[in-house]
């Protein structure tokens, strides 16, 4: 039996708990999710190192999943654009059952092998693409079929699963096994298995973006300032990165179309926005490289 399907020996009388003990049982069990991801950290690092050269060469991040796993994968995919200004065409998620399954469970769709393979092939994957396949069981037919099609196309396959020894664990080029074990509510992988998947997905995609120079120091310098809150955040980030006054930072941001990276280079190197963009392009978007060379 899969670890995620086993009966928990710790909470066999769960339905008799008082409310505080009930909440504590769920919250305390989440610590195991963190431990599972920590145990898989080396695999996540290997996935980042394998993915980055492909993405730099023009590849895409392609996410495939079903049910809770697929929704978490889609969430990670969608957030790359506002957080890192990542081109939407280079981060694509496919969920078993289609977009409607995001809002309404379509449990039967996970068994549709043909759909998994067809939807993967429809994206015309290349050897530079990175396919992230998420399935708690590690054997979801829709996801397995997408994995096989991705491998046939030569794409990098990263499998994120919660059961060691599963089909996806065996077939993925880089398996990331999050062995979270039995759930407080037996078999409900929306609990700590899902939590571990979210941590792993966040860590994987964020580390890739850091390696692609979307972050300067620990500052989110490539985000999109699309509302008032984010405009204020852009100003704070520009001040923190450049040491400029708020007035100077605001003027630079306005001159640069609220491109934070460009504004930082303008302020630190005392050049115009056009030259700042050129230098950033030559440095593959690395603010640190441009600033250091500008001070030399």
Q: Is 110 a catalytic residue?
A: yes
d(CA 27, CA 254): 45
Per-residue tokens: 142: 């829709």
Q: Which residues of 143-166 are buried (b: 16+ CB within 10 A; e: fewer)?
A: bbbbbbbbbebebbbbbbbbbeeb
Active-site position among 110, 119, 183, 259: 110
d(CA 67, CA 179): 19
Q: Map tokens 């980030």 to a residue.
A: 237
d(CA 53, CA 48): 9
Q: Do strands 130-135 and 91-95 pair parallel, antiparallel, or not at all (unpaired)? A: unpaired
d(CA 113, CA 72): 20
Q: Is 107 a catalytic residue?
A: no
Active site residues: 79, 110
């Amino acid at each position: 039996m899969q670890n995620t399907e086993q009966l928990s020996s710790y909470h066999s009388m769960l339905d008799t708990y008082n409310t505080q003990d009930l909440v504590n049982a769920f919250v305390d069990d989440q610590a195991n999710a963190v431990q599972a991801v920590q145990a898989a950290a080396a695999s996540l690092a290997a996935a980042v190192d394998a993915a980055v050269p492909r993405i730099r060469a023009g590849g895409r991040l392609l996410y495939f999943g079903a049910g809770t796993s697929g929704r978490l994968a889609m969430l990670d995919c969608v957030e790359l654009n506002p957080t890192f200004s990542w081109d939407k065409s280079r981060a694509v998620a496919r969920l078993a059952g289609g977009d409607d399954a995001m809002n309404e469970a379509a449990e039967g769709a996970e068994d549709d092998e043909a759909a998994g393979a067809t939807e993967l092939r429809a994206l015309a994957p290349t050897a530079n693409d990175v396919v992230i396949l998420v399935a708690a069981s590690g054997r979801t037919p829709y996801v397995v079929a997408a994995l096989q099609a991705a491998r046939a196309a030569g794409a990098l396959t990263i499998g994120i699963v919660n059961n060691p020894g599963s089909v996806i664990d065996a077939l993925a080029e880089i398996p990331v096994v999050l062995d979270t074990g039995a759930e407080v509510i037996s078999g409900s992988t929306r609990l700590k298995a899902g939590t571990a998947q979210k941590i792993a997905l966040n860590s994987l995609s964020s580390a890739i973006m850091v390696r692609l120079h979307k972050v300067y120091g620990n500052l989110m310098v490539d985000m999109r300032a699309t509302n008032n809150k984010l405009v204020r955040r852009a100003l704070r980030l520009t001040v923190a990165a450049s040491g400029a006054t708020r007035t100077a930072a605001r003027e630079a941001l306005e001159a640069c179309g609220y491109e934070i990276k460009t504004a930082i280079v303008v302020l630190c190197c005392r050049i115009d926005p056009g030259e700042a963009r050129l230098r950033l392009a030559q440095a593959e978007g690395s603010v640190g490289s441009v600033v250091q060379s500008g001070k030399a």
